[in-house]
Amino acid sequence: MQYKCLIVGLGQIGMGYDLSLEPERAIFTHTRAFSVHPSFEIVGAVDTSEAKRSIFEAQFRRPAYEDIHSAMKELSSDIVVISSPTAYHCMHVREVLSLAKPLAILCEKPLSYDLVEAHEIVQSCERSGVKLFVNYMRRSDPGAIEVKKRITNGSIAQPIKGTVWYSKGFLHNGSHFFNLMQFWLGTFMQHSIISKGRLWNNIDPEPDIFVEFERGCVIFCAAWEESYSHYTVELISHSGRLRYDRGGEHIQWQATINDPDFIGYTILKPEPEIIQNGMARYQYHVADHLFLALKGKEASLCNGAEALDTLKAMFEILNSRIN
């Protein structure tokens, strides 16, 4: 059995990122992931851009529509992917649920730039009996799952201290790493603002903040996206150091060893262990975990309630920034 998917939004994450790349090299988008995954079938797409609709129809040989109503009138779908711009997420979820009750909605992150709208998305899906998942894709990556396993079993010992570098807005891109820290370190506890920072594109704040989670403390620092993208995590533990570089494309662990030259001293192992990851196919792993979730099996994909917890914590931080 294949689950039928409708893609709403053919922007970068919807279709654009890997359009000119070979599937063997990269699976970065919803269209590619659901078109090559054996458990899913794309039945169509929605986008206001005629040019993007034409590209989709030529590439995937499925119909594309200008609006959700037209698509859902013609097509039957088990999964609806909301990959439209964040400002339209709530409106598009409303429209989908007014027309049908799919098995699941996979929504892009963040759920909304408005906490009231985010609550509405989660609650309306719950009332309709529709499973809601949010595309914090790193949680489905084998490397990130391995890190969580090591924190849970104590091989990355607690307490943990860390730094996170993010850019392109705290809500837009920083939320990826805030959600990842919740996945690894547990419940958000408290925070303090180090620097209020600026607004990315005059919309999304970029503060520097100290955040305490259940299993450790992390400092989030904003870089400058206009100069270069920079998404890096470093976690320090009594048992070693974890480096999560290039947004997760390179993960390494340095365990502690006795210093061979100075008796009584402990150092980090010079040759790090490379933790294998699947970030070259990150969206395929999301599809994998969506399939597991639909089958009632254990999955790491972020659900609606967890994504809402992420937004609640981030808005608490952002509100304190302006008070």
Please list the residues that pair with 252 across neighbouring strands: 243, 274
The sign of the dihedral angle between the CA atoms of 313, 319, 321, 323 is negative
CA distance 218 to 164: 7
List the domains of the chain with CATH numbers: 3-135 (3.40.50.720), 142-277 (3.30.360.10)
pLDDT value for 322: 75
DSSP element (H, E) containing 278 = none
For residue 193, list its beta bridge partners.
209
Centre a 10 Å sphere on the Cβ of residue 274 and count the other Cβ atoms it contains.
11
Nearest residue to 170 via CA among 184, 181, 159: 181
Are the CB atoms for 102 and 77 separated by under 8 Å? yes
The pair of structure tokens assigned to 27 is 């699976």
* Total residues found in the chain within this entry: 323
Query: What H or E segment, with its residue span, contains residue 90?
Result: helix 89-99
Q: DSSP 3-state assignment of 263? A: coil
Q: What is the pLDDT along the chain (323 residues), one digit of tens a residue?
A: 799 999 999 999 999 999 999 988 899 999 999 999 999 999 999 999 999 999 999 999 999 999 999 999 999 999 999 999 999 999 999 999 999 999 999 999 999 999 999 999 999 999 999 999 999 999 999 999 999 999 999 999 999 999 999 999 999 999 999 999 999 999 999 999 999 999 998 889 999 999 999 999 999 999 999 999 999 999 999 999 999 999 999 999 999 999 999 999 999 999 999 999 999 999 999 999 999 999 999 999 999 999 999 999 999 999 998 76
Note the maximum CA span of the chain. Answer: 74
pTM of the model: 0.96
pLDDT at 286: 98
